[in-house]
Amino acid sequence: MKHGRRHDALKEKVYRERAAAGAEGYKRPYRPIDVREGSGQPPPPPEPVAPLGTALPKKAKRALRRLGIEPEEKE
């Protein structure tokens, strides 16, 4: 009775086939990545933050008030 592998795993077979075909990353290096130059302009400033009270439902506002936080005030 033989112990061990009789056949190559699929990964090993695919690796050998790609290397024999001369795929990138096997026998020849990957080509350089084309990176675009920056525009030099800074990104636009973020939108002003909406007050917390306008974004929350009524139940959440009540829960915050119980904790001592007023959701209608702008921080």
List, as one string, the DSSP characters of 6-73: SS--HHHHHHHHHHHHT-BTTTBPPPPP--PPP-SPPPPPPPPPPPHHHHS-HHHHHHHHHHT--TTS
User: pTM (2 decimals)?
Assistant: 0.34
Tens-place pLDDT, residues 5-47: 667 788 888 888 988 888 888 878 888 888 878 778 888 898 8
